[in-house]
Amino acid sequence: MAALYWRLGRYPETEDYMKRALTIGERTLGPMHPELATALANYGMLLRATGRISQAVDVEARVRHIRPSTT
């Protein structure tokens, strides 16, 4: 649902679904799972798209912590 709302530009609904997915993902996969990192990266993009840059930077730092660059 989040992807659909994203495409429609309905960001508040997108955020609601992303937050739910993150909560469920953390609970079921654990805080260091690569799929959780992907969901966090998507959430960071939403934060940037809605002008919340400082929050996006924090989320992106968490993504880098979960899956550090191999380069």
Is residue 5 in some structural domain?
A: no
Question: Residue 32: which domain range?
Answer: 11-66
Local confidence band at 69 (pLDDT 50, 70, 90 cut-offs): confident
The residue with tokens 């899956």 is 67
Task: Give the whole-angstrom CA distance, residue 21 versus residue 60.
Answer: 17
Number of independent structural domains in the chain: 1
pTM to 2 decimals?
A: 0.90
At 4-47, the pLDDT tens digits run: 999 999 999 999 999 999 999 999 999 999 999 999 999 999 99
Is residue 4 in some structural domain?
A: no
Is residue 16 in some structural domain?
A: yes
Is residue 59 in some structural domain?
A: yes
The residue with tokens 């002008």 is 51
Q: CA dist 11 to 5, 38, 46, 49, 60, Å?
A: 7, 18, 8, 9, 19
Residue 63 in tokens: 């993504």
